[in-house]
Structure 1
């Protein structure tokens, strides 16, 4: 992982980065089954993105079309001087011959975007032949991989899904939520989100991960009754685009639900918006809550006996989606006190006030001033100056916070990029089932730390 050292808060460098650049959204492409990105960039760009975002982040693996599979032009000085269009054309042609994919997504790095390669013209040659390929200009100066994600989704929608003025299918929803691969637990989380939405009677285009049907599901986006944006801000731009393109309304729910209280509230909001059968949804909610609280009752014996060894305050450092969701769960379900919350993915300014408002209503009697910071040097200084009371804190963060947790004699739960001490296959922390897994993780960590 990059580790650029800084000595003062005034430095323009960022120590221990917490996101990739825009081309890192190649992960959003190969998170769709049987989709393969083609990267038009300098040597090492694609490898650095995958080694950081999908390897040293839960060791997730690249799946069918990621990691070492990704074709790259690996352009050098020749392409900088004379342009890299012919090199890209050659690579695309070779990729169609060698690789079996339902869709290719060409993504650009800083060099071709700077020298002015007409990538759109090259890709359109293949599109005119009816080949399944799109492109997105994702040079690093466009932003980080969160910004690149929405560039990729819009490229697929506009260039592959296409126009549509037909009827909509009632009960069909497109879900825009966690950033694939960057969110360490995205696969399991999207599986749980799809499960609970189907449980209340919806048909779900989950779009990414093993529960997605791949490009056929993306082709079906245009037929959905509505779009669900389940995150503080990521996906809003895409939902607005779909509203303009297909006339689809969207429901924005900023807090990803964790635990019975938030999940049941979330599902009821969706039911009201979709106008589907409330009897079926309430039956499902009642069943899920019953199972959830039965497990929680078993857990209560530990919680009652071990209360003296549990932390009272926590700090949370991570992207806004998990940051907000976990903060609400930890406060409302476990009674922990939030001492510091720091959002790290550099969300666009226009969304920050709405994110701040969410932290003002964590609970009826709990309000929190969230902070936005990317630099780990500054983040760690803020945590060191935080008052955690007389008990050691628990820190929800990343691998970058492990040494800090030891310094503060606290416990660490890795909940985001980079997570180098987690091996993640299908783990989920959201919904009814994920909350139970989260409780197991939190208190196993606390007990182990006190041993």
Structure 2
């Protein structure tokens, strides 16, 4: 990034790129047959659902999510007198009416500020037919990335029983993408599970349609190890499990897109698990053979350069996708990274590790990264960047559409909010996802050139 003057600093965040921590209700909704119960002000739950799951790729409500999740809709009365009675009634009614395997109570700002003893209320339902956990997720505690980790640890501590027996060799718990916030989480997690199973592992994927739901969560302590597949999200969960159960964890910061990263992930996990590498190598060989056949078909278009393809790119996304996309575009396509902005406001202690991962993108390419969450400043940075004589391709959000139009740049929406995409099972991860991503990138470029 090149600019002669410092970027203007404001006291507010313009065009936010994440909701508050109670949006982790969507992490609960991502567990099959789990239902969130929100103890918060009227409208809070509806806004989190609409922002995270509707205007963000129109993902839908799932089994237990949506705008009609049980909520106390706390009012002035609950502020003055407390809301525990209302919460107790709501949990009891939910147990009676709703068919679920797990309920998780999430608190908003009002009960967290007035000091409602939610833990005491939830303990009253310990013997209920459907288990109930609770998580304190008032908005001042952080964003939905923070809330996601709070919720996961709450379920583990309150619902998952300790395991004193031997661990199952080759069983792995995966902690990776943030459900719903990442529009492609369903397809990506399915592909991650496929890759790991192809390598000979048994996988607790924990979220999405390929998870066994609560039964899978109960097996968490039986796993040989935990896999954290992101620059930082899930690390706190894995460390918590290490302290609680003694489970080791493997941290792989790079979400794999394409053949190179996928093979590196598989080999790292197989080595960590101590598995026979032969089945994994056979799987890699079969996947790469098919992958490169498709790429061979693609090379005619790519080599001819008919459409004046962009040589430089900018990624404005959460840390997981920003790192993964940059690595794929540099190493697979040979594009030049001009600007990389991480937008998920990762905790300060994780930022040096993220910077180091970007610095090691390729043997001869080190990519500086900017941490910024305010769209006004992000757009200032894009406008101040020298992209050369040709408009770059932007990987960002709906907030960048007008910016891209003014720059005559093609744009691919890859993270929250993604309003102009409808996503069901699409994946950009792994071997299959990389081919889909290539189709999306160059279809966008060709369309913009028409």
| TM-score category, normalised to shorter length | over 0.9
> Are 1:293 and 2:292 matched, yes or no?
yes
> SS in structure 2 opposite 1:127?
coil
CA distance 1:280–1:236, shift in 2 (3 Å): same
- 2:3 counterpart residue number: none
**How do 1:164-313 residues align onto structure 2 when only pairs under 5 Å count?**
164-306=163-305, 309-313=308-312
Runs of 4+ in 1 over 2 A off after TM superposition: 8-11, 128-131
- Counterparts of 2:232 and 2:47, CA distance in 1: 26
**Cα deviation digits, residues 15-41 of structure 1 (max 9, x gap):** 000001010000110100000000000
Q: Is the 8 A contact 2:307 2:446 kept in 1?
A: no
CA distance in 1, matches of 2:372, 2:132: 37
TM-score in terms of structure 2 length = 0.98
Match of 2:91, SS?
helix
Following TM superposition, by how much is the alpha carbon of 1:11 offset from its aligned partner in structure 2, in angstroms?
2.2
Shift of 1:148: 0.3
Deviation at 1:224, TM superposition (A): 0.1
Post-superposition CA distance 1:409-432 (Å, at most 9, x none): 110000000000000000000000
8 A Cα contact 2:45 2:67, kept in partner: no
Cα offset, 1:10, TM superposition: 3.1
How many residues are aligned here?
444
| Cα contact 2:50–2:67 (8 A) shared by 1 | no
Contact 2:232 2:350 in 1 (8 A): yes
2:164 alignment partner, SS class:
coil
Query: Structure 1: which 5+ residue stretches go unaligned?
Result: 1-7
Partner of 1:124: 123
Residue 165 of structure 1 and its aligned partner are, at CA, apart by 1.7
Instruction: Name the structure 1 match of 2:161.
Output: 162
State the distance in 2 between where 1:69 and 1:63 align. Answer: 12
1:134 aligned partner: 133
Determine helix, strand or coil for the equivalent of 2:289: helix
Task: Give the aligned partner of residue 315 of structure 1.
Answer: 314
Question: TM-score, structure 1 length as denominator?
Answer: 0.97
Aligned to 2:113: 114
Provide the rounded CA distance (Å) in 2 between the counterparts of 1:419 and 1:131.
35
**Which whole-Å CA distance do the structure 2 matches of 1:265 and 1:182 have between them?**
26
1:96-137 Cα offsets, whole Å, 9 max, x none, are: 111100000000000000000000000000114564000000
Deviations 1:170-202 (A, max 9, x none): 010000000000001000000000001000100
Q: Which residue of 2 aligns with 1:411?
A: 410
Secondary structure, aligned partner of 1:65:
coil
| Corresponding residue of 1:19 | 18
Matched, 1:380 2:389: no
Cα deviation for residue 260 of structure 1 reads 0.4
Quote the Cα distance in structure 1 between the aligned partners of 2:313 and 2:60. Answer: 31
Find out whether 1:34 has 2:27 as its counterpart. no
CA distance in 2, matches of 1:76, 1:88: 12
User: Which secondary structure state, in structure 2, belongs to the residue aligned with residue 161 of structure 1?
Assistant: coil
Alignment-derived partner of residue 53 in structure 2: 54
- Partners in 2 of 1:217 and 1:384 — Cα distance? 47
Q: Paired residue for 1:5? A: none
Give the corresponding residue for 1:394.
393
SS of 1:148's partner is helix
